[in-house]
Structure 1
C-alpha cells in the first residue's frame, strides 16, 4: 500500500476535498500506479464538464468487492468507496484519463486529485476494523508481575491479534514494540532471522517500563507471505538468493505487511503517540500514516549469527533498517556446519557460538 509522494499527498485532506466535490456533483481525478480515471456520480456531469479521455468499457457495469478497496485494491473499488463515503449511491461512472500527468491535469482543470492508496488509508483511519474481545493476566518469564493480555479480532480477515501491556501507567508516550508473527523464530528458535531474540529482548525491556506495550501482529508470517511460502523462499535462499530475491522469484511482494490494525489497537488502548522499539523505518512511517505519532524510535539490534548474517545485511541494504552491516565472515559457508548452539543460563533465549 505504497504510492509515489506526488500522487498520495496527504490522504485525509485529499479524500475530504474529493468527497465534498462529489457531493456538489463534481468530478475527481482518481490516480493509481496504472494511470488515472475521471470519476463522477453521474455520467452527464462527467461528459458535460470533462469530455476528455476514452471509455474503457463502454456501457458496461463493473461489479466491485463488497468490502471495497480494503478487499481489492483497485480503482473501481476506490471509486465506489468514495461515493459511499460522500453519502451518495454506491455506484460510480469512470473514464480513463488520456493525459499522461494526472497531477498536472487535475491542477489545470481545478479538480481534486485522490489516489487509491489515499482511499485505503482514509478508511483504515476512520473506520473500526477490529473488535476488542477479552483481557486477562499473562505471567511470563520476563517480569515478576504479569502482563495484561488484550485480544482483538480483525473484521477484515478474522485474524486474532494480541497486545501485552506491562504493569503501571506510562508517563507520556509509552514504549511500544509492534512485532510481526514469526512462528519459526518466536516459537522454534530459528536462527535464520532475528525475530525470536527481538521478541524476547523487547519483552524484557517492556517489562522494565511502566505501561510498555507489545503489539503482536498475527498473519505477518514471512513479512506477510505466509508460512508455506516462507518455506519456499527459504529453499531458494539455500540456493544463494537473498530474502528479497527469493520472494520476487516466487512472484511474491518484498513486504506484504500492513500496520493499520496495529495503529487501531494502540488507539483502542488509549494511545495516540508512542516511542517505537524498532529498526524498521517503514514501520514507524506506517504508524504515522495511520494516525499514531511516533515521538522517538529506539533501536532493537540483535547480534548476528552465521545463519542470519546475510538476512540482516539484506534488511539493512534493501529495506533501510537501522542495522550495522555485519563484518565479512571469511569462509562462512564452510564454517557454518562447525558451529553449535549453546544456551546461556538465566536467559529466555540466550545464544552463544562455539567452534
Structure 2
C-alpha cells in the first residue's frame, strides 16, 4: 500500500508541476477547463453562431472541395468512398482543424504551454451529454522517412486495431517499403521462410487487416498519399477558407469574453479555454456539414479506409 501511495504521490507531484492539477487537502483538483452541460446552456448561442459561420465558409467552397477530392483520388474514375474519404480529410482534418488551429496559435492562443516532464500541450476536457456529436481531432505518426501518417480520431470511433498495428516497427518497415516501391518479398509456402520474410508476411496480413495496404501482389498503399504538388493544391483551397474562418473566430473570441465569468472554467488558463472552445466549435460545424450533406457521416469503426492519409 505504501508503495502505491508513493507512486501516486509522485504522479500527482508531476501533474501539479505541469499545471494539470492542484493538490488541496490531499485531493487533486483539475486545473484545465472542463466543458459541462451547464456551460453549454450559457454558451449555446455562441456555439450556434460560431459553428454556423465555420460551416458556411466550407459550404461556399463545397464545389471546390469536391473537385479537389476527385482530383487527389485519381480523377474522374475515382470511387465514391475514396472521394468522400478525401473530402472528409480536406474539410475536417485539414481546414477546420489543422489550418485554422495553426493561424489561431500564431495570432490568438499562443504556443503549446510547457507541462513539465509531460511535454508541451493544451489541456482541457468535457463532461456533457448534449454537446457536439462528432468531436474529433487527428494524430500524426512519424514512423516513415520524410513523411508522416495521419489518422482522424473521433469520440465513439473504434480505432484500436489500427493503433495496435502502428505500435509494431515491422509494420512501419513494410509501409516504408511499399511507399518507396521497393521489391516486396514473395512468399513461397513450400519452403521455410527466413526470419525477415516471416516478419514481412506478418506485416502484410496485419496491414491488410486494418486497411492500410490492399490485397494485390505486390501490395499497394490503400490510403491517400499527398505529395508536394498535391499539398500545393490543398494549400490553395484550405488556406483561404481557413483565413475566412479565422477572421470570424477572432471576433467570436472577443464576444466570448463577456460570457466567460459565468462559466465553470472562468479561472482556467485562457489558452486552454480558447483551445477547448475552438475544438468544440469546429465539431459543431462538422455536425452541421454532415446534416446538410456536405460531408458524409463519421463511421463508428474504421481502419485505413477512412480518415487516414500520408503526407
TM band (smaller chain):
under 0.3
TM-score, normalised via structure 2 length: 0.25
Normalized per residue, the structure richer in helix is 2
TM-score, normalised via structure 1 length: 0.23
Normalized per residue, the structure richer in strand is 1
